[in-house]
């Protein structure tokens, strides 16, 4: 029917996702992703992140409705073949502002990479990392000795950030989590919750003896010298969820799981 959004279908290469894709294509009409008004993604959270990153790289951003055919599926809806039109019509949308990390390497290269979940800095060898942490141009930790440190969005606060004992952030809170990974000094520092407008800079204090890599979701840059992290408001992303099981409900529920 005219006026309905044009839908594209993408799927992870796993057998369950490909089988679901085949069933959906037999039951509904789809267009190519570059022609679509929204995208249906079949897979797990990792595939959802790949789909979102592909849109950011292509600079053509449309809403995404994910169906879980992976493991956790925190960013996904339940897989069902039936009533797809009705589900899309009643879906609740959530805006997600990605992070952007700007990296300068020891060799003088520069990279700018978005992250939907988190940006993490990790030691590359058995030596602990030594980092200076600046917030809005002020040095708040002249020397953080650790295995690493990460900055997480609310959407990513229940992922790696939670495993590192970071806080769960409500969606729409306008906050980011700054969380250390196995901090050695200061030993009692457990991280910080900061406004999303905060500019965070990490400087590697001994990049030759204690090399550090920077990872934006699934993309890694090795041997970094300095990393700047901030929210990228120029490219907001939209995720679609069934009304009965939305992302903010999932994030809130995670706070009560023992």
**Alpha-carbon distance values, 117 to 22, 85, 139, 150, 244 (Å):** 30, 29, 25, 10, 23
User: Is 117 annotated for ligand binding?
Assistant: yes
CA 175 to chain centre: 14
User: Is 159 annotated for ligand binding?
Assistant: yes
User: Is 171 annotated for ligand binding?
Assistant: no
Angle subtended at Cα 216 by Cα 228 and Cα 170, rounded to the nearest 5 degrees: 90
Per annotation, catalytic residue among 29, 37, 45, 242: 45
The tokens of 119 are what? 């940006």
Which residues, at least 6 apart from 206, have a Cβ–Cβ distance to it below 8 Å? Answer: 130
User: Is 22 annotated for ligand binding?
Assistant: no
Annotation says 107 is catalytic: no
Which residues, at least 6 apart from 166, have a Cβ–Cβ distance to it below 8 Å? Answer: 150, 152, 157, 177, 179, 191
User: Is 161 annotated for ligand binding?
Assistant: yes
User: Is 223 annotated for ligand binding?
Assistant: no
User: Is 147 annotated for ligand binding?
Assistant: yes
CB atoms within 10 A of CB 235: 14
User: Is 217 annotated for ligand binding?
Assistant: no
User: Is 118 annotated for ligand binding?
Assistant: yes
The tokens of 171 are what? 């969606």
User: Is 20 annotated for ligand binding?
Assistant: no
User: Is 163 annotated for ligand binding?
Assistant: yes
Which residues, at least 6 apart from 78, have a Cβ–Cβ distance to it below 8 Å? Answer: 67, 68, 242, 245
List % helix, strand, coil for the chain (3-state, nearest 5): 20, 40, 40
Length of the chain: 258
Residue with tokens 């894709």: 21
User: Is 139 annotated for ligand binding?
Assistant: no
Q: Tell me the catalytic residues.
A: 45
Binding residues for NAD(+): 45-46, 117-118, 147, 155, 158-163
Binding residues: 45-46, 117-118, 147, 155, 158-163
């Amino acid at each position: 029917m005219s006026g309905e959004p044009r839908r594209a279908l993408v799927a992870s290469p796993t057998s369950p996702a490909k089988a679901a894709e085949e069933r959906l294509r037999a039951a509904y009409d789809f267009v190519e992703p570059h022609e679509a008004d929204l995208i249906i993604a079949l897979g797990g959270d990792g595939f959802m992140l790949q789909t979102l990153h592909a849109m950011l790289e292509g600079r053509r951003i449309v809403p995404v409705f994910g169906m879980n055919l992976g493991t956790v599926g925190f960013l996904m809806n339940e897989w069902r073949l039936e009533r797809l039109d009705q589900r899309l019509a009643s879906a609740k949308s959530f805006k997600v502002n990605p992070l952007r990390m700007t990296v300068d390497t020891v060799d003088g290269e520069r990279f700018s990479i978005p992250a939907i979940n988190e940006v993490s800095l990790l030691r590359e060898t058995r030596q602990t990392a030594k980092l200076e942490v600046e917030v809005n141009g002020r040095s708040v930790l002249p020397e953080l000795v650790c295995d690493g440190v990460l900055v997480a969005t609310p959407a990513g606060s229940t992922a790696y950030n939670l495993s590192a004992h970071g806080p769960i952030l409500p969606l729409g809170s306008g906050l980011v989590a700054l969380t250390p990974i196995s901090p050695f000094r200061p030993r009692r520092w457990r991280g910080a919750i900061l406004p999303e407008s905060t500019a965070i800079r990490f400087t590697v204090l001994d990049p030759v003896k204690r090399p550090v890599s920077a990872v934006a979701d699934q993309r890694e840059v090795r041997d970094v010298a300095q990393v700047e992290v901030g929210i990228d408001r120029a490219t907001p992303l939209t995720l679609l969820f069934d009304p009965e099981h939305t992302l903010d409900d999932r994030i809130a529920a995670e706070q009560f799981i023992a």
